[in-house]
């Protein structure tokens, strides 16, 4: 029987046999895989089995994987359908098996002979589908996100066999009429739809089962990660089909079509695309290169290539394939024309040709998209990795290196240079593709025009060579343009940082003019760059015309016979050749630009870093010495002959308090820097045992909320946090903020007062719980009361068992120190305890006696109020300069009294705070706003009308249309005039042929030149107009705008967005117009030959527009999100570089590095999706146009011979070959244009900022001598910072008589600085008014007001430039007057010592001058200005007491005829004022002469004075 069965099987049809073999083979493979897996599992389980109950329990538990616990499993419709299909096919096969089985039984009864072969196939199929169905069902229980490979191969092969069988059966039945097994044929037909679906699923791979895990991947990268989006992009594990069609992007686009996308909708990047992965790879390769050959310059380009060569190689495959396939069309056109003429070489040749054209186009379309997307992803990886490297370097730069690179330059490395290197990925393959394209083109031309193709080669080389010098010139202009742009950006960022000073001094117009002049220089280079670009465009478009004219001319001269087919094939080739020729100059200039950028980045990455060995760090507890310096010599500038610090010897035991004091510029801050390892060490050694925390002199505050600033990356511990807030005296300030510690701080802590910033810094340091605290003059910015409380709570209590080194000018804190170091000219001239140093005399004495002189001024009232003060000072023996030792308890009682006497005003403030919490008032800094939905037509029109009222636009369109018309005419002429086959007679003589062709062709290129020049002219005028409008709008914006807008946002607009408007948009607009006209031309030619194409073109156009609309809904939002996500990267960059010393002081580089990587990923997520979305759209567009082209081809082939002119048909095909590229370029240029227009939208936003009041009001200008007397009247003044924020000053009324000294005091946050801002009208009053000499200041222009007032502000600011420029930017004074002012400000001698005298350079932020010296420069400005009203806003906070006394003396003598308003923390500065105004919570608490206020026992002023004198008199009893 077995032999009979075998024989019958052998007689089966081939397909049935194949089917049985496939099924049985796969069944065996399947069984083998399953059993192998079982064996491995058993081998892995060597440990003994537990009892059954535990096994049962483990079976019931949700399955756990390495990549996290499964939270829930969603079964998708795809899985359900797959399962249904499997069981359906199984059912069909079982029915057939049953049917055939019954038939066999019937046959055996009737004929006694059985044909077993009938049931072989259904039996094998039924068995196979039984296993397949169970296997598919098993996937549900195993929670497989993908179907097993065996299963997918099985499904695919089943479908292939099914289709083949259908074909064979159908053919046999219809044509040969042969007998077929009917049951098998019906079953096959019935199974086909189900198998087709399973085949599709097999290609896709995904099973439709979604698993939501709590995994590391799904955990946020950092705590800040949005909880909303925990999906990783499907790109990472998409199937082949999904990758080829980019359908993995569908879910995102469908969300975008329903509503505007948010950042949380955008999936996370796959791990391999994240910044961290790429940074690690590139960094390790860079370090390896540096280590391999330390003497040689390492090549950054080589490091990048080593890191990303695999991606580049994979991409090269697509690029190469694409190039090969693109030449199939031009090669075959001549055969096609021959076929239409009537030469048919084999049957159905026409359809084979049409099929070949279609297949080639299809492959070209798919490879193009993969190539472009690959290139973009490669660029993104390189950018992320380089940005991270530049950032890390910025955190580690040494001080010398930092002087070579301003923060603006470093931000530019990241914003511009890194971008450029990333963009080079587009040109990466052009280097080897260009020769390949030229060789292919020459081969095709040789076939068509013979030896004349040599002329083509020569013409091609000439057109390439001509562009090289042009590209050189262009690159030169680009460099100059970049340099001019850098300069302008530096100045702009400086102006934005110091806008408050500019407004207070009424200098903003001068700086606006300066910025406009800088823009003028930049514009000069921009103009040259754009016009040279226009000329290059002309050459690009002319080169294919030149090459074709030379080729045809040579061919005719050599007497060659041109045919229509040959000519059309050549023309199609020239058109393809145009692309590489056009790209060549781009490639050359891009290579040069990228090299410049790589050199700049590479140079920066090799800059000197901080010395690793500057300090020797020992772990806590190794030794009892906390800090030890032996023979230390340190210098900021290694080349200078005089070191900054020399001969430093110091040993600090654990738990000691060390005070550092000295005159301004004696090297106190540098001394702390040497312990931190910030200042370059020349010799000696520094040992530090334990962790350090550092508080800088000028506060560095991160934008974010107050809590984030204090925690500084540490986890929140409530009790510890509360203690820190208490120790830093922040509790009351936080109560006054409407959002408490969740108040968002503006750029550089702009909405905090100086004292608050300083205390937030102190809180940050305390919360870190370090071993050693380095504090740089932390008490200068706070008032006396807060200062003494801080000292007591912070240094004496909270840091009681820590090592503290603090720089201070407040002599009253010195007695509490265990060791005092006195510095002078970079040497420690004295060291010891307070009493020892006093007895030793010398410099320390001068400091202390200066302080006592100041205190003496306060003794007079003490004597006069002896009776009233008796209970305060029971033994008030006041002698030798107020050196009294009051009882410590009394001070405590006083402090209690102060606290208990919480006035009604304070309780009201607390109530208001609670109310504010309820209503959740808005924050100062809002999320960056973005327009949603379509870019409004208004933006386009405003741009078009910006230049010459839009008059150039119609001319641009006419020029482009004429160019297109003449091009088609020239091609038509060549196709029409040449004979169709070899041997026919030409229609015109060869001279006429070539003459007419050249006239038409070169005529068309002139119109392109006209268009290019017009576009450049238009773009220049529009860009300049938009820039000036935005600049004027920003400079005239009120101060509240700068307080609530991080500088990064404004810089983003004046740099990146402005660059787009300068260089991109005009050419994008021109490009869009030209592509539109070209597209119309192509469709026109195709329609003229076969009008039937219109039947497809119209629906295609509708489909394209619909898809474009669908895509734009998501793309627009993605581009907007990208622009917004770029700002935080730049902002963190600038901020970290400014606070690098603090970040390093706390050892937080790693956390900031992580934060930077996180922000880079936040930027890359929408960026990656927007790139993929463009390719998604183009792929679909090109597929549509490929089908239209195929339809046109089939029409041409189907027409009977002779009904259509072959040369015209050939022309239609020549143009049709270009259809898909043109269509996708058209859509792309439109989308890119709309994406770039968003830059105009953003600039437009900042061109409409409501401005301040007018600078000058012509009708109400004050007299030139105003203010003569300087009387200031405040009448019921109410002030709030913004509409939605609470009132800060509540109805302040008082009058400051002219020519008197007014002291303004009050606790931190009581409204002192706000009052001054209202006086200068930085904030307009919400109610009430201010009169100066009876003129209401709100009725005159801002410049008239501010130029007549003088201020020495709290934060002294210097501008980059020279000393002269800083004192007199308006150039109103002579050198003599400037020297006088400098001498009075005690800076004359310092500046005379410098070589360049008044032209001595000032670095960015005045970094090469000490804070005290900057304060003296501010005083010099006031002395020069000679205004009648002078405001001192805590002006002497950062100088030592001796310098302070000196400044006070200068002010008393120089400004004796002026009204001087002084806000002071040091009571001696206001004790000799004529009047004192005490503010409390924005209200006037007291206003009287100091003497009267001191007599009144209940006065707040008395309390402030008592606190100050008690803390200042000798050693406080802490």
pLDDT of residue 509: 85
Write out the two tokens for 173: 């039945």
**Distances, alpha carbon 61 to alpha carbons 56, 70, 142, in Å:** 9, 11, 13
Q: Which of 119, 198, 128 is nearest to 163 (CA)?
A: 198
Angstrom distance (rounded) from CA 334 to CA 569: 6
Angstrom distance (rounded) from CA 912 to CA 735: 10
Cβ density class 535-559: b for 16+ within 10 Å, e for less: bbbbbbbbbbbbbbbbbbbbbbeee
Give residue-wise pLDDT tens across range 153-174.
888 888 888 888 887 877 777 7
Instruction: Report strand pairing: 744-745 vs 1349-1352.
Output: unpaired
Q: Which of 1046, 1033, 753 is nearest to 924 (CA)?
A: 1046
Please determine, for residue 341, whether its predicted confidence score (pLDDT) is greater than 50.
yes
Please determine, for residue 175, whether its predicted confidence score (pLDDT) is greater than 70.
no
What proportions of the chain, in percent to the nearest 5, are helix, strand and coil?
Answer: 65, 10, 25
Angstrom distance (rounded) from CA 1187 to CA 1192: 9
Give residue-wise pLDDT tens across range 1106-1140.
888 888 888 888 888 888 888 788 888 888 888 88
> Is 274:236 a contact under the CB 8 Å cutoff?
no
Cβ density class 1083-1103: b for 16+ within 10 Å, e for less: bebbeebbeebeebbeebeee
Please determine, for residue 757, whether its predicted confidence score (pLDDT) is greater than 70.
yes
Angstrom distance (rounded) from CA 1061 to CA 1020: 9
Angstrom distance (rounded) from CA 277 to CA 1227: 34
How many Cα neighbours within 13 Å face the side chain of 1175?
26
Cβ density class 1443-1464: b for 16+ within 10 Å, e for less: bbbbbbebbeebbeebbbbbbb
For residue 1397, the SS3 value is: helix
Angstrom distance (rounded) from CA 125 to CA 24: 9
83-87, 441-445, 893-897: which has the minimum mean pLDDT? 893-897
Write out the two tokens for 1250: 């409501």
How many Cα neighbours within 13 Å face the side chain of 80?
4
> Is 136:82 a contact under the CB 8 Å cutoff?
yes
Angstrom distance (rounded) from CA 1029 to CA 1024: 9
Give residue-wise pLDDT tens across range 347-374.
778 888 888 888 998 998 899 989 999 9
Please determine, for residue 1304, whether its predicted confidence score (pLDDT) is greater than 80.
yes
> Is 183:125 a contact under the CB 8 Å cutoff?
no
**Residues across the chain:** 1518
Give residue-wise pLDDT tens across range 396-407.
888 777 777 777
Angstrom distance (rounded) from CA 1467 to CA 1490: 11
pLDDT of residue 953: 85
Sheet holding 1335-1336, edge to edge: 1287-1296, 1272-1280, 1327-1332, 1335-1336
> Is 857:697 a contact under the CB 8 Å cutoff?
no
How many Cα neighbours within 13 Å face the side chain of 1070?
25
Angstrom distance (rounded) from CA 858 to CA 850: 14
Give residue-wise pLDDT tens across range 584-624.
767 777 888 888 888 888 888 888 888 777 788 888 878 88
Give residue-wise pLDDT tens across range 904-939.
444 444 444 444 444 444 565 666 666 666 677 788
Confidence class of residue 212 from pLDDT cuts 50, 70 and 90?
Answer: low
> Is 1189:1220 a contact under the CB 8 Å cutoff?
yes
pLDDT of residue 34: 75
Q: DSSP character for 815?
A: G
Write out the two tokens for 730: 């922040």
Give residue-wise pLDDT tens across range 465-477.
887 788 788 878 8
pTM score > 0.85 for this model?
Answer: no
Angstrom distance (rounded) from CA 515 to CA 855: 48
CB neighbourhood size of 319 (10 A): 22
Give the DSSP H/E element, type plus range, for residue 1290: strand 1287-1296
- Mean pLDDT value across the chain: 79
Q: Which residue has the tokens 């069965």?
A: 5
Angstrom distance (rounded) from CA 885 to CA 548: 103
Please determine, for residue 896, whether its predicted confidence score (pLDDT) is greater than 50.
no
112-121, 421-430, 949-958: which has the minimum mean pLDDT? 112-121
Angstrom distance (rounded) from CA 46 to CA 40: 11
> Is 34:150 a contact under the CB 8 Å cutoff?
no
> Is 1266:1333 a contact under the CB 8 Å cutoff?
yes
Confidence class of residue 218 from pLDDT cuts 50, 70 and 90?
Answer: very low
Please determine, for residue 890, whether its predicted confidence score (pLDDT) is greater than 50.
no
Instruction: Report strand pairing: 1301-1305 vs 827-832.
Output: unpaired
Please determine, for residue 45, whether its predicted confidence score (pLDDT) is greater than 50.
no
What's the chain's Rg over C-alpha atoms?
41
Alpha carbon 260 to its chain's center: 21
Relative orientation angle of helices 1149-1198 and 1093-1138, to the nearest 10 degrees: 170
pLDDT of residue 1101: 80
Q: Which residue has the tokens 């990146």?
A: 1056
804-815 mean pLDDT: 84
Q: Which of 654, 649, 657 is nearest to 624 (CA)?
A: 654
Give residue-wise pLDDT tens across range 705-733.
888 888 888 888 888 888 888 888 888 88
> Is 410:437 a contact under the CB 8 Å cutoff?
no
Write out the two tokens for 1110: 């669908």
Q: Which residue has the tokens 């070539």?
A: 994
> Is 188:158 a contact under the CB 8 Å cutoff?
no
Confidence class of residue 321 from pLDDT cuts 50, 70 and 90?
Answer: very high
């Amino acid at each position: 029987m077995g032999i009979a069965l075998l024989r019958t099987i052998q007689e089966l049809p081939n397909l049935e046999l194949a089917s049985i073999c496939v099924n049985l083979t796969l069944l065996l493979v399947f069984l083998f895989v399953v059993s192998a897996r079982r064996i491995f599992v058993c081998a892995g389980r060597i440990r003994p089995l537990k009892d059954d109950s535990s096994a049962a329990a483990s079976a019931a538990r949700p399955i756990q994987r390495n990549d996290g616990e499964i939270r829930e499993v969603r079964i998708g419709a795809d899985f359900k359908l797959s399962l249904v299909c499997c069981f359906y096919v199984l059912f069909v096969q079982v029915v057939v098996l049953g049917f055939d089985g019954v038939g066999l039984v019937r046959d055996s009864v009737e004929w006694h002979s059985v044909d077993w072969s009938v049931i072989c196939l259904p039996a094998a199929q039924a068995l196979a589908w039984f296993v397949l169905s169970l296997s598919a069902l098993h996937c549900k229980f195993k929670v497989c996100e993908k179907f097993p490979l065996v299963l997918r191969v099985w499904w695919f092969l089943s479908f292939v066999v099914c289709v083949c069988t259908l074909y064979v059966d159908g053919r046999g039945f219809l044509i040969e009429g042969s007998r077929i097994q009917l049951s098998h044929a019906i079953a096959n037909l019935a199974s086909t739809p189900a198998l087709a679906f399973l085949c599709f699923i097999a290609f896709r791979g995904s099973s439709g089962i979604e698993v939501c895990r709590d995994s590391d991947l799904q955990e946020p990268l950092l705590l800040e990660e949005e909880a909303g989006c925990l999906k990783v992009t499907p790109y990472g594990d998409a199937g082949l089909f999904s990758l080829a069609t980019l359908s993995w992007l569908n879910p995102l686009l469908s969300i975008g079509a329903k509503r505007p996308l948010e950042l949380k909708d955008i999936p996370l990047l796959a791990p391999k695309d994240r910044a961290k992965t790429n940074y690690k790879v590139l960094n390790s390769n860079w370090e390896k290169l540096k280590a391999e050959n330390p003497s040689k310059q390492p090549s950054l380009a080589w490091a990048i290539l080593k890191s990303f060569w695999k991606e580049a190689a994979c991409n090269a495959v697509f690029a190469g394939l694409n190039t090969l396939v693109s030449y199939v069309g031009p090669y075959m056109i001549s055969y096609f024309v021959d076929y239409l003429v009537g030469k048919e070489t084999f049957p159905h040749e026409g359809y084979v040709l049409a099929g070949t054209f279609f297949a080639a186009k299809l492959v070209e379309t798919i490879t193009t998209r993969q190539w472009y997307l690959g290139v973009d992803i490669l660029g993104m990886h390189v950018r992320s990795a380089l940005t991270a490297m530049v950032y890390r370097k910025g955190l580690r730069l040494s001080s010398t290196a930092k002087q070579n690179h301003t923060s603006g330059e470093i931000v530019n490395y990241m914003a511009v240079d890194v971008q450029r290197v990333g963009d080079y990925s587009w040109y990466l393959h052009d280097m080897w593709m260009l020769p390949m394209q030229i060789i292919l083109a020459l081969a095709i031309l040789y076939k068509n025009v013979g030896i004349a193709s040599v002329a083509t080669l020569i013409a091609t080389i000439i057109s390439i060579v001509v562009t090289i010098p042009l590209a050189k010139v262009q690159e030169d202009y680009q460099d100059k343009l970049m340099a001019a742009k850098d300069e302008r950006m530096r100045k702009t960022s400086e102006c934005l940082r110091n806008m408050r000073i500019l407004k207070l001094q009424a200098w903003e117009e001068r700086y606006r003019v300066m910025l406009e002049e800088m823009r003028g220089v930049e514009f000069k280079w921009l103009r040259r760059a754009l016009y040279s670009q226009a000329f290059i465009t002309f050459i690009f478009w002319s080169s294919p015309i030149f090459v074709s004219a030379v080729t045809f001319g040579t061919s005719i001269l050599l007497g060659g016979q041109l045919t229509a087919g040959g000519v059309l094939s050549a023309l199609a080739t020239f058109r393809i050749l145009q692309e590489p020729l056009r790209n060549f100059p781009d490639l050359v200039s891009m290579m040069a630009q990228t090299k410049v950028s790589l050199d700049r980045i590479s140079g920066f990455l090799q800059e000197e870093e901080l010395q690793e060995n500057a300090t020797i760090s020992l772990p806590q507890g190794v030794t009892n010495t906390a800090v030890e310096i032996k023979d230390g010599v340190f210098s900021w500038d290694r080349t200078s002959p005089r070191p900054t610090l020399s001969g430093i010897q110091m040993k600090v035991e654990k738990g000691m308090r060390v005070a550092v004091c000295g005159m301004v510029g004696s090297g106190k801050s540098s001394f702390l820097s040497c312990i931190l390892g910030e200042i370059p060490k020349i010799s000696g050694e520094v040992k530090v045992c334990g962790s350090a925390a550092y508080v800088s002199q000028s506060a560095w505050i991160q934008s974010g909320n107050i809590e984030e600033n204090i925690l500084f990356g540490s986890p929140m511990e409530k009790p510890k946090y509360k203690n820190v807030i208490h120790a830093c005296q922040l509790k009351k300030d936080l109560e006054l903020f409407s959002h408490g510690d969740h108040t968002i701080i503006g750029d550089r802590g702009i909405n905090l007062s100086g004292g608050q910033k300083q205390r937030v810094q102190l809180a940050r340091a305390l919360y870190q719980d370090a071993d050693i605290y380095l504090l740089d003059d932390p008490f200068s910015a706070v008032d006396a009361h807060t200062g003494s409380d801080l000292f007591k709570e912070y240094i004496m209590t909270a840091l009681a068992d820590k090592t503290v080194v603090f720089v201070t000018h407040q002599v009253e804190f010195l007695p509490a120190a265990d060791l005092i170091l006195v510095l002078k000219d970079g040497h420690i001239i004295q060291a010891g305890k307070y009493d020892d140093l006093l007895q030793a005399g010398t410099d320390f004495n001068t400091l202390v006696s200066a302080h006592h002189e100041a205190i003496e001024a306060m003794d007079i009232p003490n004597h006069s109020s002896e009776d009233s003060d008796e209970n305060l000072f029971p033994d008030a023996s006041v002698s030798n300069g107020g050196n009294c030792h009051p009882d410590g308890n009394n001070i405590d009682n006083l402090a209690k009294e102060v606290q208990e006497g919480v006035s009604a005003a304070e309780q009201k403030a607390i109530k208001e705070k609670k109310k504010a919490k309820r209503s959740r008032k808005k924050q100062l800094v809002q999320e960056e706003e973005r327009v949603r939905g379509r870019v409004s037509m208004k933006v386009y029109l405003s741009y078009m009308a910006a230049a010459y009222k839009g008059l150039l636009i119609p001319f641009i369109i006419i020029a482009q249309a004429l160019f297109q018309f003449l091009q088609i005419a020239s091609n038509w002429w060549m196709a029409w005039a040449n004979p169709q086959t070899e041997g026919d007679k030409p229609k015109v003589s060869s001279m006429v042929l070539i003459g007419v062709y050249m006239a038409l062709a070169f005529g068309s290129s002139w119109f392109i030149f006209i268009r290019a020049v017009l576009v450049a002219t238009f773009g220049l005028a529009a860009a300049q107009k938009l820039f000036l409008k935005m600049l004027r709008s920003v400079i005239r914006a009120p101060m509240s705008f700068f307080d609530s807008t991080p500088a990064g946002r404004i810089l983003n607009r004046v740099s990146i967005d402005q660059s787009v408007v300068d260089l991109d948009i005009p050419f994008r607009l021109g490009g869009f117009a030209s592509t539109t006209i070209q597209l119309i031309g192509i469709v026109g030619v195709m329609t003229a030959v076969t009008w039937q194409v219109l039947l497809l073109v119209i629906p295609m156009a509708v489909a394209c527009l619909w898809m474009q609309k669908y895509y734009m809904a998501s793309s627009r939002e993605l581009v907007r999100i990208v622009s917004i996500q770029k700002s935080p990267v730049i902002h963190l960059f600038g901020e970290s570089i400014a606070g690098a010393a603090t970040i390093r002081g706390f050892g937080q580089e790693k956390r900031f590095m992580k934060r930077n990587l996180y922000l880079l990923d936040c930027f890359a997520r929408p960026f990656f999706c927007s790139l993929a979305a463009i390719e998604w759209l183009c792929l679909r567009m090109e597929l549509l146009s490929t089908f239209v082209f195929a339809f046109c081809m089939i029409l041409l082939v189907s027409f009977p011979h002779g009904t259509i002119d072959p040369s015209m048909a050939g022309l239609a095909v020549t143009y049709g070959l270009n259809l898909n590229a043109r269509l996708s370029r058209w859509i792309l240029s439109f989308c890119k244009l709309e994406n770039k227009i968003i830059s105009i939208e953003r600039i437009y936003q900042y061109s409409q900022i409501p401005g301040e009041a007018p600078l000058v009001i012509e009708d109400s200008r004050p007299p030139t001598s105003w203010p003569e007397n300087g009387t200031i009247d405040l009448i019921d003044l109410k002030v709030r910072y913004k509409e939605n924020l609470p009132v800060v000053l509540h109805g302040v009324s008082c009058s400051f008589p002219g020519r008197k000294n007014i002291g303004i005091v009050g606790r931190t946050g009581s409204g002192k600085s706000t009052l001054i801002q209202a006086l200068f009208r930085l904030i307009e009053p919400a109610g009430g008014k201010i009169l100066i000499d009876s003129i209401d200041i709100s009725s005159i222009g801002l410049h008239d007001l501010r130029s007549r007032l003088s201020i020495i502000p709290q934060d002294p600011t210097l501008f980059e430039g020279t000393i002269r420029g800083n004192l007199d930017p308006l150039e109103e004074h002579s050198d003599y007057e400037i020297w006088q002012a400098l001498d009075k400000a005690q800076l004359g001698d310092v500046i005379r010592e410098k070589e360049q005298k008044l032209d001595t350079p000032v670095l960015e932020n005045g970094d090469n001058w000490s804070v005290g010296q900057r304060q003296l420069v501010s005083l010099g400005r006031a002395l020069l200005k000679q205004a009648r009203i002078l405001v001192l806003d805590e002006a002497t906070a950062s100088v030592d007491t001796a310098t302070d006394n000196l400044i006070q003396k200068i002010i008393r003598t120089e400004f004796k005829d002026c009204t001087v308003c002084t806000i002071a923390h040091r009571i001696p500065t206001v004790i000799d004022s004529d009047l004192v105004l005490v503010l409390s919570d924005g209200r006037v608490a007291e206003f009287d002469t100091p003497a009267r206020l001191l007599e009144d026992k209940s006065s707040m002023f008395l309390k402030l004075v008592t606190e100050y004198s008690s803390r200042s008199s000798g050693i406080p009893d802490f």
